[in-house]
Amino acid sequence: MAGILRIEGKTRAEVSVLLVDNATIKKLNRKYRGLNRTTDVLAFSQQEGGYRQGNPDLLGDVVISIDKTLSQSRQYKQPFKKELCLYIIHGCLHLSGYDDIGRQRRSQMNKRQQEILDKLELEGLCG
């Protein structure tokens, strides 16, 4: 994860990652996003709302469904480690201010996500 943050220019940033099952991420998705379904990754910023006054190096939390990671790695015929890395990148990008709501923003975020994944694969950190 340090590689992701370094590529994004955040050399002193801190992010926590929590790996959960589908039932847990579905509960979180319902509670915090109002969506009663599973998802692959959620990001909770510590730099927004009432948390803004806290530590500027603490970006937030990334929650990943390990069940979804496994099923999607099989579906897309990707190594599990690469799929997991993709979700960590995705969550870190959300915590860095990227948004994937709308076609243009989603396209920008997907492009940046792929650039970071490619760099990390070259460094032997993902894949």
DSSP string, 32-89: HH---S--SEEEEESSSGGGGGS-TTEEEEEEEEHHHHHHHHHHTT--HHHHHHHHHH
- In this prediction, what percent of the chain has a pLDDT beyond 90? 64
Per-residue pLDDT tens over the stretch 26-80: 999 999 999 999 999 999 988 766 555 667 778 899 999 999 999 999 999 999 9
